[in-house]
Amino acid sequence: MTESAQAPLRVAAIDCGTNSIRLLIADVDLPGTGSVTDVVRRMTVVRLGEGVDTTGEFSAQALQRTFAAVEDYAELIRRHQVQAVRFVATSASRDVSNREEFIAGVKDRLSVEPEVIRGSEEAGLSFAGAASVLNWDAARKVLVVDLGGGSTEFVLGTSAGAEHAISTDMGCVRFTERHMRSDPPTETECSMAAFETLSFLENVAEVMPLHETEAVVGVAGTVTTVTAHALKLEDYDAETINGAELSLDAVHQSVDQLVHSTRAQRAAMPFMHPGRVDVIGAGALIWGTILDYINKITENRVATAIASEHDILDGLAMSVAQEQLESMGNEK
């Protein structure tokens, strides 16, 4: 087989965050078009970062849930004859006191050592994943916001790639535990969460030119759940959500309802993943506050938000395929 006719590389990417662990098994067309074709895409809510903000370590129960999910993913990887695997751990995994126990447990089950990546690399991978599926004007400045459980990444760039990136320690799990403990949250709790979000945003604006933003793309479960609510979906439909562009008014209507609903009301929403019921209120408030801030700092130039189902997993798949291709070339 010639290099030009080389078959796509089958790779696996695993992203272990504060709230969930996600798997993408994909065929990546390198050195051809670079397209990423899903074989398997899974998400399991494991709440790895539950309580970390208070204790500084992963709980035994959180590790048990996470390792069980890793075992399931390892079986899928074997079944689909994956050629290369990359496992990254983000946010809560960076600073916990028992991170070595986490790393050893993953390595025992998957035969791959997890990489606890820097926030800047996490942000760059998220941008690459989002950019791979959205058709942007080459010169258009796009802000990708990856709103996770323990951290939120901001990446500003063009279709050529990321130009500025920063990771912040705010997320739906952190802010639920820190601020929004009532059911439903009180106005005081919401105000405190919004105030801290604005504080983070002001710090971000000091190190990257948020005022240059011409479009905002949001990724991860909070953003897609808010979008599903705004679209009034009867079920979670990733294809409908991916690329959906909403007015800020539509986003805020959904944010207000999600923030002020009771836990029982959120659980009854047909598109709601059970693992997001407890944390979507805080996540929605963060997302709405971010969009308001960007709209203000750009003098009302950014009046919509785009949701993407493609994020760090797609960026990881492309990176591991590139590494595998280079390794194969060096062996020749």
For residue 60, give the CATH number of its domain.
3.30.420.40
Any idea which of 87-91, 167-171, 201-205, 225-229 has the lowest mean pLDDT? 87-91
Which two three-digit tokens encode residue 286?
């963060």
139: pLDDT strictly greater than 80: no
**323 located within any domain:** no
Greater confidence, 73 or 7?
A: 73
In this structure, the answer to whether residues 221 and 92 fall within a common structural domain is no
Name the DSSP class of 78: H
Domain count, the chain: 2
pLDDT at 85: 95
**224 located within any domain:** yes
What is the average pLDDT score of the chain? 89
**280 located within any domain:** yes
In this structure, the answer to whether residues 146 and 258 fall within a common structural domain is yes
Residues 6 or more apart whose Cβ sits within 8 Å of residue 316? 13, 14, 15, 24, 86, 88, 125, 129
In this structure, the answer to whether residues 201 and 301 fall within a common structural domain is yes
Residues 6 or more apart whose Cβ sits within 8 Å of residue 318? 28, 30, 34, 36, 128, 129, 132
In this structure, the answer to whether residues 100 and 146 fall within a common structural domain is no
Percent residues over pLDDT 90 in the chain: 61
Name the DSSP class of 31: T
pTM, 2 dp: 0.75
Q: How far apart are CA 129 and CA 326, in angstroms?
A: 20
**126 located within any domain:** no
Q: How far apart are CA 290 and CA 252, in angstroms?
A: 11
2 pLDDT band, cuts 50/70/90, is: very low
In this structure, the answer to whether residues 101 and 21 fall within a common structural domain is yes
In this structure, the answer to whether residues 166 and 279 fall within a common structural domain is yes
In this structure, the answer to whether residues 106 and 146 fall within a common structural domain is no
pLDDT at 132: 67
Q: What is the pLDDT of residues 248-279, one digit of tens each?
A: 999 999 999 999 999 999 999 999 999 899 99
1: pLDDT strictly greater than 50: no
Q: Looking at residues 80-106, what average pLDDT do you find? A: 87
Which two three-digit tokens encode residue 203?
């710090």
Residue 169's domain comprises: 134-309
From 84, 119, 154, the end of a domain falls on 119
Q: Phi/psi of residue 154, each to 5°? A: -120, 125
From 50, 85, 119, the end of a domain falls on 119
Q: How far apart are CA 204 and CA 219, in angstroms?
A: 18
From 119, 143, 161, the end of a domain falls on 119
In this structure, the answer to whether residues 164 and 112 fall within a common structural domain is no
In this structure, the answer to whether residues 84 and 23 fall within a common structural domain is yes
